[in-house]
Every structure is written in C-alpha cells, then in structure tokens.
Amino acid sequence: MVTNCGQCLRMNPEYECGWCVGASPTCSLQTLCPASDWLDRSAVCPNPQILGVRVAIMQEMMPMIHH
C-alpha cells in the first residue's frame, strides 16, 4: 500500500482508494474511514511536500548550453 496522500489519490480508480486524514493518516477504502476524514481523488492533499525535482533539457537546446 502507498504511504502518502499524493500516491494514494493517484492510484488506479478501480481500487476505490482515498486518503483518510484521521489520527493515523492512511490510504484506505472509504468504508473504513469516517466521512469527515475522507479525501477522494478530486481532493487536494493536506501538507503537500516536494520530494524531488527533475530537470529536462530539450535536445534542441543542447548546442546552446555547450557554448
């Protein structure tokens, strides 16, 4: 199972998962989470964190960078 809200909400919809923001936040089925704590796929995760950054350089720009 995924360990953060962003991964949880991006899971395949067939799993019907959502983020439960209760005392122990977890990815779960809606039936296992109180309605007031449930975030579905259309929600915005609380306390978002940037875990990494990727830089992409277009092939056409490579000659300009090396000058």
In the predicted structure, residue 56 carries a pLDDT above the cut 80: no
Q: What is the pTM of this model?
A: 0.67
Asked if residues 22 and 34 have their Cβ atoms less than 8 Å apart, the reply is: yes
Which secondary structure element, helix H or strand E, spans residue 28, and what is its range? strand 26-29
More confident residue, 62 or 32: 32
* Contact present, 5 and 25 (Cβ < 8 Å): yes
Give the chain's domain count. 1
Look up the domain containing 54 and give its range.
5-65
What is the distance between the alpha carbons of residues 59 and 29, in angstroms, rounded to a whole number?
44
| Mean pLDDT on 33-47 | 91
When pLDDT is cut at 50, 70 and 90, the band that residue 61 belongs to is low
Over residues 42-58, the mean pLDDT reads 80
The average pLDDT across 30-58 equals 85
Other CB atoms within 10 Å distance of the CB of residue 28: 18
